[in-house]
Structure 1
Amino acid sequence: MQVCAIGCGNVGFNTLKAFQIRGHSVFGVDISKAARGNVADSFGAHAVIDRLAELSGMDIVFICVPTDPDEVTGHADLSIMEEVVRGLSSLESRPAWRRHPPVIVQRSTCPPGSAARFSAEFEHTPYAVNPSFLSKATQWEDSDRPPRIAYAGPSEATEVLDEVYKEFTGAPRYVSTSYEAVELLKYIENSIDAVLISLWNEYLQLSDALGMQRRFFVELAREITSRDRFATTLRVPGGSFGKWCLPKDLSALLGMCADLGVAGHVLRGAQLTNQQMKDHGENLAATSELLALSGGRTVPTDTAATALLGGCQGVPGADGC
């Protein structure tokens, strides 16, 4: 298939790379000279597309542009998404586009309701939602072997995504006809991580205040995960989660709650605790003295217990996208 990404930063570039190694022809659009150069160096000069008008003939167009929080409101800033959608919808009148409209895929993280609004801009072009689930430290691995694949849209869109994703095996797969369900899934997963990281930071602060030796905190954490219902609740404490998507998506989710009259006390508490960690400096307690990351989930290890005695430098907490 002919696969294009509009926006070739971390998400867009790794998306193209994952499809390219599976035999698809990939192309990229970006206003950044550096990003265009990266696409050319990796996939060939022919893979760089300068104008949206050149997208006729594509099978799938992934929109991978920033949706960072507005500095004033904290809500997701969808201005770039809106500009791209307007540009793409203006191409529908072109004969080549009408003969073979691509599936437009919203890969950027957008608040629930966004896809319904954006899809209404198109009359003949199928629109889908397919968020990425990447951690900053493992963005290529998470693109090549996704921890989750989720998408939603009309059947003419999801059937194309079924085909293009058929070689991505082993990942949990959620296919829905509800745009909102898949959009909300991304926010829920990231907010759960945010709450758990802040919760464990509070436990760590409490154990330090009690004067408890770190090796006992490691023992405690190991014991928590030995019980089935808590086996996946452990996260790395010792630093804030301000590394990539967690603070961005938590802020946007709190903005949605405020708009809809939902209190969001637990989510707000996670944000306040995280800000406290930032205000007092990163890695107040050296994270590597406590826990290690393994297999995409935070678990205590013997290596971590050894590091506890050696006073190694800390590593940041996990941050997913």
Structure 2
Amino acid sequence: MAHRLTVIGTGYLGATHAACMAELGFEVLGIDVDHEKVARLAAGDLPFYEPGLEQILRRNLDTGRLAFTTSFKEVADFGDVHFLCVGTPQLTGSNAADLSQVTGAVDALLPHLRRECLIVGKSTVPVGTAAALADRIAANVPIGADLAWNPEFLREGHAVEDTLRPDRIVIGATSERPGKVLREVYAKLLAEGIPLVLTDYETAELVKVSANAFLATKISFINAMAEVCEAAHADVTQLSEALSYDDRIGSKFLNPGLGFGGGCLPKDIRAFMARAEELGVDQALSFLREVDAINMRRRARTVDLVRELLGGTFAGKVIGVLGASFKPGSDDIRDSPALDVASTIRDQGATVTVYDPAALANARRVHPHLGYARSTGEAVCDADAVLLLTEWREFLDLDPEEVGKVVRTRNVVDGRNALDAGRWRGAGWVYRALGRP
């Protein structure tokens, strides 16, 4: 009999996983405690921006393969494989992960289980979480309910591709059955040659946080080099290019600029450090403190760079900010470097107007004190400086001569080292960027 899947938690990870598993041909039921979110998804309205996902959502609602509910009893009766896709935010006042949504979801499901099933964790959790949940399940469910850990590796803006054509599938389990079931669930992907790693709970949990820690380290490394380049009057973009030709290093995540943000990298590396301290091996991850510190310094340095460009003060200045989301292809503003810089400049006396192709509604809700525009032209009108803080393609394609017609002064700060410096300077702009002369 074909497996019927449920997805517990319909935020970014859960909604993506539910829609994409339905796209693979499964009957899928998603559940969330947020009634409004469930109603929106059931109506085909995606509550966040992710390229290509809304079409998949609507197509599979129309076929009947995908549905949503708020009932854990309905979920338990419907499926035999339950994917756990809830959030693990940073605890208030601590670097540790808040696991209340994980334990809450499991506790809500267990009383309704009446048949053999598999619970599959996809959330990013501290190592040791799966073993504790397995004990919790064994103590509360008389029937056969197994647990596996199958970490997600989604990139915002590429989540559909990362779900349907992942780089690898990792499964952590303590017996053969969970691996057998998940090989059946992922059979189409495995037939395409996607690598499969079968391992234990602890290794599976560590894969995700280790990957994020490595990527964060690579980003902060090149941004540390940008600090050195500024002091030495060198060009970090040329340094990065030269490094990228070494196949041991490569070019990915070696782009100098404003640094990383979002709902994953910052909180995940902090939670990783907190868990290492609990395990008594905090010195092994002490370098991540500097990774985090370098990343935060990039924001402060960007503010300083803009202030220097404007003669040492923001008082009475008008700033046009291009970008609010933490990265292009997303409306996610969690820990957004762009909004952090914009808010800091506004607090220091400037009038700041922000434009973003997807994230304006989220930005307005969290940062109502900033000004917002409906277009690039409106955002930069009469500006003393234009700041590129999120590298959306439409910003990279701007004509500097046309933009120059509406600003007060042709000053541009490229916070992502993404613009063609020669083209902007050739149009009479004073061009500044992190780590460049």
TM-score over 0.5 for the pair: yes
**In structure 2, distance between residues paired with 1:34 and 1:236:** 39
Query: What residue number does 1:296 align with?
Result: none
Query: What residue number does 2:299 align with?
Result: 278
Preserved CA contact (<8 Å) 2:241 2:251: no
Q: Sequence identity, in percent?
A: 28
One of 48, 63, 74 as aligned partner of 1:54: 74
The 3-state SS of whatever aligns with 1:228 is: coil
Asked whether 1:111 is paired with 2:133, we answer: no
Asked whether 1:174 is paired with 2:189, we answer: no
Query: What residue number does 1:243 align with?
Result: 262
Letter in 1 for 2:34: S
- In structure 2, do the counterparts of structure 1 residues 192 and 80 end up closer, same or farther at CA, with 3 Å as the change threshold? same
One of 154, 176, 184 as aligned partner of 1:134: 154
Q: Per-residue deviation at 1:47?
A: 1.2
Query: What residue number does 1:24 align with?
Result: 26
Preserved CA contact (<8 Å) 2:81 2:118: yes
Q: Deviations over 1:113-148 (max 9, x none)?
A: 100010112232011101110112222221222122
- In structure 2, do the counterparts of structure 1 residues 311 and 160 end up closer, same or farther at CA, with 3 Å as the change threshold? farther
Q: Deviations over 1:47-72 (max 9, x none)?
A: 12221111224121111111011021
- Greater shift, 76-85 or 50-59, is seen at 50-59
- In structure 2, do the counterparts of structure 1 residues 91 and 265 end up closer, same or farther at CA, with 3 Å as the change threshold? same
Query: What residue number does 1:294 align with?
Result: none
Query: What residue number does 1:209 align with?
Result: 231
Q: Per-residue deviation at 1:208?
A: 2.3
Residues 1-321 of structure 1: matches in 2 within 5 Å? 1-40=3-42, 41=44, 42=58, 43-44=60-61, 47-55=67-75, 56-92=77-113, 97-98=114-115, 101-123=116-138, 124-153=144-173, 154-168=175-189, 169-176=192-199, 178-212=200-234, 214=235, 217-231=236-250, 234-261=253-280, 262-263=282-283, 264-281=285-302, 282=337, 307-311=420-424
The 3-state SS of whatever aligns with 2:198 is: strand
- In structure 2, do the counterparts of structure 1 residues 118 and 306 end up closer, same or farther at CA, with 3 Å as the change threshold? closer
Q: Per-residue deviation at 1:39?
A: 3.1
- Greater shift, 3-12 or 133-142, is seen at 133-142
Preserved CA contact (<8 Å) 2:17 2:163: yes
- In structure 2, do the counterparts of structure 1 residues 152 and 305 end up closer, same or farther at CA, with 3 Å as the change threshold? closer
- Greater shift, 180-189 or 152-161, is seen at 152-161
TM-score by length of 1: 0.82
Q: Deviations over 1:205-247 (max 9, x none)?
A: 22122223x4xx3333222122232226752220121122101
- Unaligned residue ranges in structure 1 (runs of 5+): 290-303, 315-321
**In structure 2, distance between residues paired with 1:236 and 1:276:** 16
- In structure 2, do the counterparts of structure 1 residues 225 and 288 end up closer, same or farther at CA, with 3 Å as the change threshold? farther
- Unaligned residue ranges in structure 2 (runs of 5+): 45-57, 139-143, 303-336, 342-386, 392-416, 426-430, 433-437
**In structure 1, distance between residues paired with 2:221 and 2:267:** 18
- In structure 2, do the counterparts of structure 1 residues 87 and 288 end up closer, same or farther at CA, with 3 Å as the change threshold? closer
Letter in 1 for 2:14: G
Structure ranking higher on relative contact order (CA contacts 8 Å, 6+ apart): 1
Q: Per-residue deviation at 1:311?
A: 4.2
- In structure 2, do the counterparts of structure 1 residues 73 and 165 end up closer, same or farther at CA, with 3 Å as the change threshold? same
RMSD across aligned positions (CA): 2.7
**In structure 1, distance between residues paired with 2:424 and 2:34:** 42
Give the aligned length.
291
Q: Deviations over 1:158-203 (max 9, x none)?
A: 1111011111234332111x10000011110000011111111111
**In structure 1, distance between residues paired with 2:256 and 2:166:** 25
Preserved CA contact (<8 Å) 1:28 1:39: no
**In structure 2, distance between residues paired with 1:73 and 1:164:** 37
Preserved CA contact (<8 Å) 2:215 2:253: no
TM-score by length of 2: 0.61
Preserved CA contact (<8 Å) 1:2 1:25: yes
- In structure 2, do the counterparts of structure 1 residues 29 and 288 end up closer, same or farther at CA, with 3 Å as the change threshold? closer
Q: Per-residue deviation at 1:288?
A: 8.9
**In structure 2, distance between residues paired with 1:130 and 1:4:** 15
